[in-house]
Amino acid sequence: MENYIETEHRRQNMRVQRRNRYFTIGYICCLLVIALAAGFLVEKEKAAQEVSNTKQEGTTSDVPNLTLPIEEQPQVTKKGLINNEFLTLVNPWHAITGENEVKLAELSNGYLVDERCYQDLQNMMDDCRASGMTPVICSAYRTHQKQETLFNNQMNAYIAQGYSEEDARTETAKSIAVPGTSEHELGLALDIVDYNYQLLNEGQEDTPTQKWLMENSWKYGFILRYPNDKSEITGIIYEPWHYRYVGKTAAAEIFEMGVCLEEYLEE
């Protein structure tokens, strides 16, 4: 009898222990589920935060730094940054005045450019070549003296052909900028031709290199500076080889609007 009670008692104990064990396991499972759910929510929140951070980073580079005092904030219009240092207008009516100090970078062929457009130029040339084209830079930065020599040589050639000095000057100015009025003195202009057609004439526009450059140069901040239908406004004949660096924002707008630099700056 005693044995039976003892056994029964033990059984009861075991039942209680088993119930307790189930309860504990259940409790731990509940805690685990809660912990997992909390962890998931935190991760999700973190991911959302990262996405919004990335978005902010992507847009802040295009807008002015709003922490600047108002008078120091660059003025933004449809034309981009209006006080853009790359939009200096140089043409027959706007000569470079005073000292023009340019920090120069040397290209692999020895030509020099304003160092601020060097990387974009390099990228444009690399991509142009990667597309199967054969671009050759045949002129870049020119000193004032170099421009003068070029101008005088051409003028003398006209005089040798029988032109009067005045007519020779007028004729020369149609293809070579009067010293002081050449963008090449800025270090932001380049003459680029096709390796298989190294002539500075209208035939240049039909070369694969020019077709590529006319279509893509704006992506790198360069514009075809003297388009065919703008000679009256630019004062320079059609030059399907002369590219001018104006920065990517302005170049994209000028390309999209189909205007020349003079028109763009007057808008």
Does 242 sit near Zn ion (CB under 5 A)?
yes
Does 191 sit near Zn ion (CB under 5 A)?
yes
Q: CA 73 to CA 64: how far, in whole Å?
A: 7
Q: Tell me the closest approach of the beta carbon of residue 233 to Zn ion, in angstroms.
A: 17
148/191 with CB nearer Zn ion: 191
Q: Tell me the closest approach of the beta carbon of residue 242 to Zn ion, in angstroms.
A: 4
191/263 with CB nearer Zn ion: 191
133/186 with CB nearer Zn ion: 186
Q: CA 253 to CA 78: how far, in whole Å?
A: 8
CA distances for 202 relative to 22, 36, 68, 118, angstroms: 91, 71, 47, 27
Q: Tell me the closest approach of the beta carbon of residue 191 to Zn ion, in angstroms.
A: 4
Q: CA 148 to CA 156: how far, in whole Å?
A: 12
Q: Tell me the closest approach of the beta carbon of residue 177 to Zn ion, in angstroms.
A: 8
254 and 87 Cβ atoms separated by less than 8 Å = no
Number of residues interacting with Zn ion: please give it, by CB under 5 A. 2
DSSP output for 55-108: HHHHHHTTS--TTS-GGGSPPEETTEETT-GGG---BTTB---S-----EEE-T
230/242 with CB nearer Zn ion: 242
Stretch that binds Zn ion, among 165-173, 188-196, 210-218, 243-251 (CB under 5 A): 188-196
Residue with smallest beta-carbon separation from Zn ion: 242
152/175 with CB nearer Zn ion: 175
Question: Going residue by residue from 83 to 102, which x/- string records binding to Zn ion, judged by CB under 5 A?
Answer: --------------------
The residues that are catalytic are 239
Question: Going edge to edge, which strands form the sheet with 189-194?
Answer: 135-139, 189-194, 242-245, 222-224
Q: CA 120 to CA 162: how far, in whole Å?
A: 44
Q: Tell me the closest approach of the beta carbon of residue 217 to Zn ion, in angstroms.
A: 14
Contact residues for Zn ion, defined by CB under 5 A = 191, 242
